[in-house]
Amino acid sequence: DAKTTQPNSMESNEEEPVHLPCNHSTISGTDYIHWYRQLPSQGPEYVIHGLTSNVNNRMASLAIAEDRKSSTLILHRATLRDAAVYYCIRHSSNTGNQFYFGTGTSLTVIP
C-alpha cells in the first residue's frame, strides 16, 4: 500500500521547468514526504524531503500544500539526465520505519 498517488508518466521539454504532482490525502501529521528518483539500471537516489514547509536543495524544490494532502516536486530546468522514474513516498516512524514505494512517475525529457 503505497499511500500516495502519482501520474504514471509525464513529458517535459529540455531546459523547461517540470512540476511532478503527488497526492497523499490520508497523510498524518507526523508523516514526512520523501522524493526519490531512479535512473535506468540504477538504484533509487534521494532527491528531497519535507514535512510542512517548502524545501529547496541543489537538485529540486518541494512544494507542500497547506493541508498537506498533496505536494509537488519542482525541477527548475529539466535536462536529459533528469529522465527517470520519480517516486513520492510517505514516511513515518510510527509505521515501522518502512518506506512504501508506488510505481512512480516516469519522466521523459524531450531535447
Partner 1 sequence: GAGVSQSPSNKVTEKGKDVELRCDPISGHTALYWYRQSLGQGLEFLIYFQGNSAPDKSGLPSDRFSAERTGGSVSTLTIQRTQQEDSAVYLCASRSGQGVGSPLHFGNGTRLTVT
Task: Summarize as ranges the residues that interact with partner 1 (CB under 8 A).
Answer: 2, 30-32, 34, 36, 41-46, 49, 87, 91-93, 96-104
Report, in Å, the least distance between residue 99 CB and partner 1. 6
Strands (E), the chain: 9-13, 18-23, 32-38, 45-50, 55-56, 61-64, 70-75, 84-91, 105-110
Report, in Å, the least distance between residue 15 CB and partner 1. 27
Burial class (CB in 10 A: 0-12, 13-18, 19+), 95: middle
Which residue lies nearer to partner 1 by CB, 17 or 46? 46
Which residue lies nearer to partner 1 by CB, 26 or 93? 93
Report, in Å, the least distance between residue 83 CB and partner 1. 16
Report, in Å, the least distance between residue 51 CB and partner 1. 8
Quick one: cell of 67? 493541508
Closest CA to 50 of 72, 78, 75: 72
Which residue lies nearer to partner 1 by CB, 21 or 101? 101
What span, in angstroms and rounded, lies between the C-alpha atoms of 3 and 22? 10
Which residue lies nearer to partner 1 by CB, 13 or 51? 51
